[in-house]
Amino acid sequence: MAKTLIKNAWIINEGRSFKGSVMIDGKYIAGVYDEDALSGDSSRMVYGQERPAADVNVLDASGKWLLPGAIDDQVHFREPGLTHKGDIMSESRAAVAGGVTTYMDMPNTNPQTVTLDALEWKFRRASEVSAANYSFFFGGTNDNAPLTAKLDRKRVPGIKLFLGSSTGNMLVDREEALRRFFGETDMLIAVHAEKEDIIRRNKAFYTARYGENLDISFHPKIRSEEACYASSSEAVNLAEKLGTRLHLFHLSTAKELSLLDRGPLSGRRITGEACVHHLWFSDEDYRRYGNLIKWNPAVKTAEDRDALRRAVADDTIAVVATDHAPHLLAEKEGTCLTAASGGPLVQHSLPAMLDMAARGLFTPEKVVEKMSHHPADLYRIDRRGYIREGYYADIVLIDPDKPLTVSKENILYKCKWSPFEGYTFRHSVWKTYVNGLLIFSDGQVSAEATGMEIAYHSK
């Protein structure tokens, strides 16, 4: 495989930005060169000669930003069993088009990923078709806690527990089961935290008063701040009592931020994630977008949104992800009670975050930290998430001067819609490399399955 020198890029990595070059050799980054540390022509300095060797491809990235590929720790790619909405091939191609080079898929498929056989099936399928690097959470139920002892810690990122409404038998609500997951495994526990009995109580209250035909404005009232905080705080209390590494997925309220550990990420036991939709939208947007922005947990107030944005900027929030969960448009129709919850986001998460950075909400360096560095560190991923010599060459090149208007023509999700449709982002993804291979370039995705199973350090 020929080497590739990406030169004259503006590299954003590890809290700093500088003009430099990156050498790719096979799957790996062979060198990172800071122009300020070099004299003369960077390609000559890299090779110690006037011109690059014949087996080196040179890409002039002048004016472009070079970032480590984003790592999305929460996606629903819908395979197996729900592939009319999306599948591993279609959604991983959308991911790389958006600069996401690694993803961790959730277990609520059909069949659910709650057995070792179902987990292994997903790994095999991804090896055949995934454009991005992949991993899969194991789903907990009230009955399968003993299986966690058999999970390979170098392959599986953690245990996903639904503490609120879920499909099938994935609602974990028995005290004995929770204590086994929290107390008897050394793995990270990641939770969807909404208190089921509070949701039911709120639903009964509003339907008794207004009937069953509730519009979308009732969604955050039913799936309320109280429902979120009650569940999150119970999970945190149990984790603190039993010494569990706990990660709270898709936080949606300002109140929940008080539950999180602060300080260096390596020392935190209780961490939290914010999703792009909770950082972008508020309940004021329901009037315009309706069910298109119906998620669980619900998009809440502008005050909640602004608190989450500040929590990203001040490092209270550890990770930014998507909870990418495509549905057909027909499935998004109906009332607050009947329309499907979830939406497609993975193709537009990095442009959206960079757009918010351009508005001064946080810096591009902070975006890279939350979407690349911190997911790699939190999950102890082997040699990804950074632009470093010896790391896998998962690289994204951003054109900061080429806007992207989201349209049906450039949406790659299988469901063919986006809540961002019609919006123009200030930046666009120019090229994406996965394991050293150029998989996305100038709007086109390669048909190759270039993704690899990612590995974890167990300690």
How, if at all, do strands 159-162 and 189-192 pair?
parallel
Please list, in sequence order, all residues whose beta carbon lies within 8 angstroms of the beta carbon of residue 12, skipping any fewer than 6 positions away. Answer: 65, 66, 67, 364, 365, 368
Catalytic residue among 105, 323, 355, 394: 323
The angle at the Cα of 211, spanning 205 to 217, to the nearest 5 degrees, equals: 75
Tokens of 397: 């090149």
Tokens of 416: 């063919």
Cα separation, 315 vs 263, in Å, equals 8
Within 13 Å of residue 196, how many CA atoms lie on the same side as its CB?
A: 12
- CB burial class (10 A; 0-12, 13-18, 19+) of residue 345? buried
Q: How far is CA 276 from CA 88, 190, 285, 302, in A?
A: 21, 18, 14, 14
Q: Is 394 a catalytic residue?
A: no
Cβ atoms of residues 146 and 104 within 8 Å: no
Q: How far is CA 175 from CA 142, 172, 181, 365, 394, in A?
A: 9, 9, 10, 41, 41
Residue 365, number of CB atoms within 10 A of its CB: 17
* Residues with catalytic function: 323
